[in-house]
Amino acid sequence: MQKRIFLIALLLLVITVSASALAVSDTRQLNAAFNDIKVYIEGELISPKDALGRPVEPFIVDGTTYLPLRAVAEALGKEVEWDGPNQSVYVGRKPYTPMPFDTVTAKIAIITNDFSYSEEEYISAQEVVKKYGENKVIHKVWPIKYYEEDQVMIRLVQQIVDDPEVKALIINQCLPNSLAAIDKLRETRDDIFLVAIHPAEEPSYIAKLCNLVLNADEIMMGETMPAQAQKLGAKTFVHLSFPRHLSFPLFSSRYVMLEENCDKLGLDFVNYIVPDPFSIIGTAGAQQFLLETIPKLVEQYGKDTAFFCTDCSLQTPLIKAVIDVGAIYPQPCCPSPFHGFPLALGLAQYDDWIYTAGAAQINTETARIVKSRGVSGRISTWPEPISMLMTHAAADYAYKWIEGEVSKDGIDVVELQKIIEGLAEVKVYTSVYEEDGEKYPNWLMVREDYITY
């Protein structure tokens, strides 16, 4: 049966690729054939309906089959939204475009670890510089031996904020001794929007001095990590750390939760002290210790043992050792497909991918190599690099703060959540940090679901 009808192109989903896409918001007359076309999603027949619940029948125009977008998208579990002013249809997540700087002279500064210590944070800052321009973003790095060089850290921060054009400062990571530098900063500059990412010192004081604090949800990891380890087949959970790290408030809280939740799940919990990379043994010595120790621990506890280590510099040897012996690895300390995996697996193209292809390419290659090594289903992480995500989110929110697009009194959590979701490629969960019954409204904890290779 042939019918002459008027169609608005943006309300339709083209099933096959058409050379002449209806991208212009105009009305045109088409001949449509209705042949009682049936639509199956994952083997189940659906009855397409419009937003008002009225039946909508698929049809064919010039050999191309058209379906009602809303009905198909919702059958696939995606929300659909029509944006009339922009003549756009959004399926699932909306696109996010950061606002450009309108203020002529305002700058933001970002302090990260050195590339050799934590390349993700360093690279994320470089990406922000590229996005907004070298004249708008200053990038500096902490001293490599930050634990011994508090005065160097104070001077670095002071040099940055002595520039009156700097209106925001993002610190990723907010390492031990950062607090002294922040405290000194606040003596002269209370007009700076200050962001601390992954703070390692007193939570209540950090929250008081900073406008915004962002953290991977270390506390919730105490619950999610044992559950993930058990899904991967673990019967024993080995926590690898050293006294310096166990003195960090969030790390110690997570440690308690890990032990409690392992007990609830019936997993044997083992706390194993490893050398501190900042001790006399050094990073190389601590890495070698891990390579030699993991096989011995697997011999003692069996292959169904999950290993977690709190130190960034030890993730690569840990992943390598775990895969070599066929054990279990639920996540890095800073969950990310970039953290430890590429170097441990010998991905030669890694340096190019981290700047270009991103997490999707790393995840694909990691899964391929893990399968070839016979440990599929025993290795996992979060699918998006959380530290990089938080640098970008903090920078974009700082721009809005400078431009007056968000209130300068407190944090607009709804807007920040929108920014984070717009930047991420996956579902992201956020919650306000709470300690001893006290909530910190300017402190957001961020987490993702796991990806298992």
Instruction: Identify the pLDDT of residue 449.
Output: 92
In a domain, 98, yes or no: no
Give the whole-angstrom CA distance, residue 288 versus residue 317: 8
Which pLDDT value is given to residue 108?
93
- Confidence class of residue 210 from pLDDT cuts 50, 70 and 90? very high
Question: With 50 as the cut, is the pLDDT of residue 255 above it?
Answer: yes
Q: How many structural domains comprise the chain?
A: 3
- Whether pLDDT at 117 is above 90: no
CATH number at residue 178: 3.40.50.11400
Q: State whether 428 and 374 are in the same domain.
A: no
Q: Which of 363, 384, 405 finishes a domain? A: 384
Give the best-scoring range by mean pLDDT among 182-191, 262-271, 355-364. Answer: 262-271
What percentage of the chain has pLDDT greater than the value 90? 43
Mean pLDDT over the full length of the chain:
84
Do residues 348 and 232 share a domain? yes
| Within a domain: 202 | yes
Query: Residue 111's pLDDT band (boundaries 50, 70, 90)?
Result: very high
In a domain, 354, yes or no: yes
CATH code of the domain containing 251: 3.40.50.11390
Residue 125 in any domain: the answer is: yes
Question: Is 57 inside a domain boundary?
Answer: yes
Closest CA to 320 of 349, 293, 302: 293
HEC-encoded secondary structure of the chain? CEEEEEECHHHEEECCCCCCCCCCCCCEEEEEECCCCCEEECCEEECCECCCCCECCCEEECCEEEEEHHHHHHHCCCCEEEECCCCEEEECCCCCCCCCCCCCCCEEEEEECCCCCCHHHHHHHHHHHHHHCCCCEEEEECCCCHHHCHHHHHHHHHHHHCCCCEEEEEEECCCCCHHHHHHHHHCCCCCCEEEEECCCCCHHHHHHHCCEEEEECHHHHHHHHHHHHHHCCCCEEEEEECHHHHCCHHHHHHHHHHHHHHHHHCCEEEEEECCCCCCCCHHHHHHHHHHHHHHHHHHHHCCCEEEEECCHHHHHHHHHHHHHHCCEECCCCCCCCCCCHHHHHCCCCHHHHCCCCCHHHHHHHHHHHHHHCCCCCCEEECCCCHHHHHHHHHHHHHHHHHHCCCCCCCCCHHHHHHHHHHHCCCCEEEEEEEECCEEEEEEEEEEECCEEC
What average pLDDT does the segment 265-282 reach? Answer: 95
pLDDT value of residue 300: 97
C-alpha 16/C-alpha 10 separation (Å) is 16
Domain span at residue 66 reads 2-91
The domain boundary residue, chosen from 63, 91, 119: 91
Quote the crossing angle between the two packed helices 386-403 and 119-132, to the nearest 10°.
Answer: 30
When mean pLDDT is compared across 19-23, 154-158, 246-250, the lowest value belongs to 19-23
Q: Would strands 107-112 and 137-141 be described as parallel, antiparallel, or unpaired?
A: parallel
- Judge if 172 and 210 occupy the same domain: yes
Same domain, 202 and 268: no
pTM, two decimals, is 0.68
**Residue 99 located in a structural domain:** no
Residue 93 has pLDDT above 90, yes or no: no
Q: Which of 65, 91, 117 is the last residue of a domain?
A: 91
Q: Are residues 234 and 302 in the same domain?
A: yes
76 and 144 inside one domain? no
- The 8 Å CB, 24+ separation contacts for 436-443 are 438/204, 440/203, 440/204, 440/207, 440/213, 441/410, 441/411, 441/413, 442/207, 442/210, 442/211, 442/212, 442/213, 442/410, 442/411, 443/203, 443/207, 443/212, 443/213, 443/214, 443/215
Residue 171 sits in the same domain as residue 82: no
Confidence (pLDDT) at 102: 46
Say if 101 falls within a structural domain.
no
Both 238 and 365 in one domain: the answer is: yes
Question: Do the domain assignments include residue 139?
Answer: yes
**What is the tens place of the pLDDT at every residue in 27-68?**
777 788 878 888 888 777 888 887 777 888 888 888 788 778
> Is 98 a residue whose pLDDT tops 60?
no
In this structure, the answer to whether residues 337 and 379 fall within a common structural domain is yes
Given a cut of 60, whether residue 97 has pLDDT beyond it is no
What pLDDT is recorded for position 9? 34
Do residues 246 and 116 both lie within one domain? Answer: no
Within this chain, do residues 348 and 230 fall inside the same structural domain, yes or no?
Answer: yes
- Over range 346-359, report the average pLDDT: 60
Mean of pLDDT values over 163-192: 88
Encode pLDDT of 155-166 as tens digits: 999 999 899 899
Residue 13, pLDDT above cutoff 50 = no
Q: Are residues 240 and 152 in the same domain?
A: no
